[in-house]
Amino acid sequence: MVLSAGKPRQQHDFVKLPKTDLHVHLEGTLEPEMLFRLAGRNHISLPWKNPEMLHEACKFRDLSGFLAIYYKGCEVLVTEQDFYDLTRAYLERAASDGVVHTEFFFNPQVFCGNKISLEGIMRGVFSAVHDMRERISCLYMGTVMRTRPVEEALRTLNELAPWYDRIAAFGMGGAENGNPPSRFKRYFEACRERGFRICVHAGEEGPAEYVREAVELGVDRIDHGNAAVHDPALMKILAEKQIPLTMCPISNLRLNLIRDLGEHPLKRMLSRGICVTINSDDPAYFLGYASDNWEAVQRALDLTPAEVLQLALNGVEACFLPEAEKIKLRNDVKTAFPGAPGMADPIVERTARKDQDGFSPLSEMD
């Protein structure tokens, strides 16, 4: 596979589906070409000679192997302009990929060793969000590393206080095994006390028990949540409470958490009434933006038109926008599927025919 910068990997038909991307790490949108450009601009030496070598290094064995490269990549981001460029490039790419609303994570802890103030970082990020406001709706989520002490997570939460009015939620990521959500109870309680939504990566490489802990912490969303499929009682709870899972199928494949997308639990969980959504995670490293994930999953799991519609609507239910804005998004999705829920619309019927005659969904929408 060849790396390409600045646009979705493929111009397939899911680009035209109005969709959300609710689980994407801004740092994970750093395309190799930009990474090398910023390294040159900031005089930073890298362990790879060129983007192709970085690409070779991106055949990950597991989550920790990926994170080592991901954190290395973050070292090239040192000026306000760098953060502006990164954010703007992601938002432009997402908008042309048919993402109508994105909620992205950003972890300030990663940058405390770089020579830039938090003010500079946040100015760069929010200027790009502002400049792109006509093209894409966007919410920002702070996140912290589960491999660092809870006190540091609390410090990060406090340091972000000047921007609280612009932050929708707080989360937690990083190497999961051995770092259960319950260890961060104080952090999540503090986020809640300050009025934020909370979400946590759980059940990505870790066990179903970590997903259960996340539920017990009262999270608003679970990032990944795959392991819950092994625990029928937990699946029932997720469905009853309608706690959304922001799943990232291509990420799971690239991190060897599944051998094949056909094994992905997304469809089984959807059939149990769980609010499953499709997202990109770290698209520059995993070679898959939002529509690539939709297309890959549709192909591998043979999703029906009703399931595609349900997944798109789940993205709206799961997002952190106010209800008034959700109404508009819901309408946008339903306009792409005007026959729903009766499925009488020709676009939806064509989706169903895909496997028989090679026709792809939504291709004749414009």
CB 30 within 8 A of CB 70: no
For ligand ADE, give the closer residue by CB, 143 or 298.
143
Member of 101, 201, 350, 354 binding ligand ADE (CB under 6 A): 201
**Binders of ligand ADE among 63-82, rule CB under 6 A?**
63
Which residue carries 């590393």 as its tokens? 145
176 touches Zn ion by CB under 5 A = no
- Of the pair 211, 308, the CB lying nearest ligand ADE is at 211
Pick between residue 201 and residue 212 the one whose CB is nearest to ligand ADE: 201
251 binds, among ligand ADE, Zn ion, none (CB under 5 to 8 A by kind): ligand ADE
- Work out what residue 227 binds among Zn ion, ligand ADE, none; the CB cut-off runs from 5 to 8 Å by kind: none
27 in contact with Zn ion (CB under 5 A): no
Among residues 31, 204, 205, 307, which one is catalytic?
Answer: 204
CB 58 within 8 A of CB 285: yes
Task: Clarify whether 103 is annotated catalytic.
Answer: no
Q: Does 204 bind ligand ADE (CB under 6 A)?
A: yes
Spatial separation of the C-alpha atoms in residues 105 and 87, rounded to whole Å: 11
Q: Which is nearer to ligand ADE, 252 or 351 (CB)?
A: 252
Instruction: Give the end-to-end CA distance of the chain in Å, rounded to a whole number.
Output: 29
Which does residue 174 bind out of Zn ion, ligand ADE, none, counting CB within 5 to 8 angstroms by kind?
ligand ADE
Query: What are the b/e assignments for 39-71, b being 16+ CB within 10 Å?
Result: beeeeeebebeebeebbebbebeebeebbebbe
Q: Pick from 75, 99, 73: which is nearest to 7 by CA? A: 99
Which tokens sit at 53?
């070598």
Does 97 sit near ligand ADE (CB under 6 A)?
no
Q: Which helix (H) or strand (E) holds 48?
A: none
Tell me the per-residue interface mask from 270 to 299 with Zn ion, x by CB under 5 A, - otherwise: -----------x------------------
- Whether the bond between 341 and the residue before it is cis, its omega within 30 degrees of 0, is yes
Helix runs in 207-289, H state only: 208-216, 232-241, 249-254, 266-271, 283-286
Does 173 contact ligand ADE by CB under 6 A?
Answer: yes
Q: How far is the CB of 52 from ligand ADE (least distance, A)?
A: 23
Are 111 and 125 a contacting pair, CB within 8 Å?
no
The token pair at 18 is: 């109005």
Q: Does 25 bind ligand ADE (CB under 6 A)?
A: yes
With respect to ligand ADE, which residue has the nearer C-beta, 25 or 101? 25
* The pair of three-digit structure tokens given for residue 212, joined into one six-digit string: 């259960």
- What residue ranges bind ligand ADE (CB under 6 A)? 25, 28, 63, 173-174, 201, 204, 251, 281-282
